[in-house]
Chain A
Amino acid sequence: MVVSPPAASGAADAVTKSASPAALGDPAWRSVLEPLLAGGRSAGADLVEVFLERSDHLGLLAEQDAITSVSPSFGAGAGIRVFLGERDGFVSTNDLSPSGLRLALEQALGMLGLLLPARAGGFDGLPNLRDFAAAKDGWLRACPSLGEATGRLLEGTDRLQRHGQHLQVRRGSYARDWQEVLVAASDGTFARDVRLHQSVGLNVLAADGDHRASLGRRYGTSDSPDDLRRWDAEASAADVCASAATMLYADYVEAGQLPVVLANRFGGVIFHEACGHLLETTQVERGTTPFAAMVGEPIAHEALTAVDEGLTDGAFGSLSMDDEGMEPQRTVLIENGILQRFLSDRAGERRTGHARTGSGRRQSHAFAAASRMRNTYIAAGPHSPEDLIASVDKGLYCKSMGGGSVGPTGQFNFAVEEGYLIENGALTRPVKGATLIGDAKEVMPRISMCANDLELAAGFCGSVSGSIFVTVGQPHIKVDSITVGGR
């Protein structure tokens, strides 16, 4: 089959006759994409991938009893990636016209020393579209209107006022991210999806004299237009205010090496930072994971099994397909302490040999996809949460976690937002200001007990391919010893 370069395609004009790009479900895109893929292959590329995106975002902020920010945005763009051996070139652009896409392809090819030929061949065309979005095209219209959304947020800040004491600041925020993507690649990938993520958060600053406490909670789901309508503002506000009231007068934690019990839900950030990132092939490529050659070997306590998947209904990190057009899998990372496999994307598979897992993810068209986590959690164990606390003579209970990070040597850290001392097997005083730090290789074998109360929590993860929606999770777990930074 001979396919002409995109600029010569008459059908392409049909897509871009109106100045804004057409919806990605428009069949005319096929005749724009096929010449690009054919051109790239004819130039000598091993593989050409085009990622098209349209997005629509709404951000709202309520402070005290007023809406103080309404921030809508929309956009479109493309990311074109070309592989030659283990190397790749990537170009992103906001110009979705045929000439704009052709220019981006030429630039990506040029990075690898390849030239787009005048005539292109050697590509049999794209197969039928795998349309994961067929039942999702109405989602954006089904989301709450501006009036409805602002009303719900104000309901949240009003509930904070009712439940809280000494509240100096009450804030509610809402974000709705709608994204339509179309992925076409010269290996026959041709798939479309629509994603919808909504999150709502409540934050307070409580102050009484010199005592201050700032706390927040954020709740998020995917693919559920009614999510904000179903949000339990009353329970969320009561939860935040109860924590703020407790932490307002808390003492700073005493630093040291301590056993720690981490609560379920967002406690899972410890596995995300301490180990999850190190099981991405991106880290294998860089040589920054200590686990690169340890598949089949013990890397954690035998009590620990860990999973990453993109399948849980409504979870923040769930996907119908990843950003390379592959359906997500349930990937068992660690089973009874034994490393099973890595999370892999196209580049990871080419460069490390680890098979793709549907984990190629990116914030937007402006980023090349990379192996990234989805819904990542430690599996439930046999114990009750009370068993874990009762097993500690003197330690720290971390009820609520802040953010964290991991560095190139595997050193990780994360902040504790709400902590309590454990003394003689029972929770006693609240403490604040703790930061947990450690080394993945040393800490994983110290996760010695897992409770039976697995729960997930929504989060955002920033890394090489931008900020993406993820879920962390775990049951209550016990770490036998970890460095607790404090005063």
Chain B
Amino acid sequence: MRILVSLICGTLFGAGLYISGMIDPQKVLGFLDIWAIADGDWDPSLAFVMGGGLIVAMPIFQFAKKRSDAVCGGGLELPTNKNITGKLILGGALFGAGWGLVGYCPGPALSALAFGQTDTIIFVATMLAGMAGARALHLNR
């Protein structure tokens, strides 16, 4: 059951990225280009994706948080680290720089593999290498 739920959630997530247009890096860069607001060229769509996501996810999260276990069994695994560290901010900044360079974050990059394009495959391969390398150096702790 848990495996089926994982597949369904992943599929819904991928469908959401496709429908919202976030699977296209140019759509993401159009949002990150807030500097084009004055010219009327800014694309606020990503903010609406976040908004739509939060409107639906927030009530489910607040309901789920009150439960002691998951519906399909097992515990709720919520992050316990509450520390605001330099590492958190540095990691966010490095990620944001990479995000702003091409327009891919992890979810859309993986979903875009559906198009089978070489650039996407290279991005995902180097992203995986970066994740594996950083983990090998225990930078995730």
Task: Report whether chain A binds chain B.
Answer: no
Residues on B lying within 8 angstroms of A by beta carbon are none
Residues on A lying within 8 angstroms of B by beta carbon are none
